[in-house]
A and B are shown apart, each in its own frame.
Chain A
Amino acid sequence: MTAFLALVALPLLCFGMGTSSELEHAKSTEFCLSCHIMEPYGRSLRVDDPQHLAAAHFQNHRVPANEACYTCHTNYAMFGGIKAKLGGLRHIYVYYLGTPPAPENIKLYEPYNNRECLHCHAGARSFEEGAVHTADPDLLPALKANKTSCISSGCHGVVHDVASLKDAKFWKGGN
Chain B
Amino acid sequence: MLSTAPLERKLQLSGIILILGLVVEALCLLGHGPIAFMVFVGLGGVFFAAGILLYLYSLVSANVAPSGQ
State in angstroms the CA–CA spacing of A88 and B36 once bound together.
Answer: 14
Interface centre among A3, A8, A15, A30 (most CB of B within 10 A): A15
Within 8 A of B (CB), among A34-55: 34-35
Number of A-B residue pairs with CB-CB distance less than 8 Å in the complex they form: 61
Given A7-B52, A15-B25, A18-B25, A35-B44 contact (CB < 8 Å): no
Interface size bracket, B side: 20 to 34
Top 8 closest A-B pairs, CB basis? A34-B33, A7-B55, A11-B48, A92-B34, A22-B37, A18-B25, A11-B18, A15-B48
Measured CB to CB, the residues of B under 8 A from A are: 11, 14-15, 18, 21-22, 25, 28-29, 32-38, 40-41, 44-45, 48, 51-52, 55-56
A residues in contact (CB < 8 Å) with B:
3, 6-8, 11-12, 14-15, 18-19, 21-22, 25-26, 30-31, 34-35, 88, 91-92, 95
Please give 7 more A-B residue pairs, beta carbons under 8 A apart, in addition to A7-B55, A22-B28, A31-B34: A6-B15, A14-B25, A18-B28, A25-B32, A25-B37, A34-B33, A34-B34
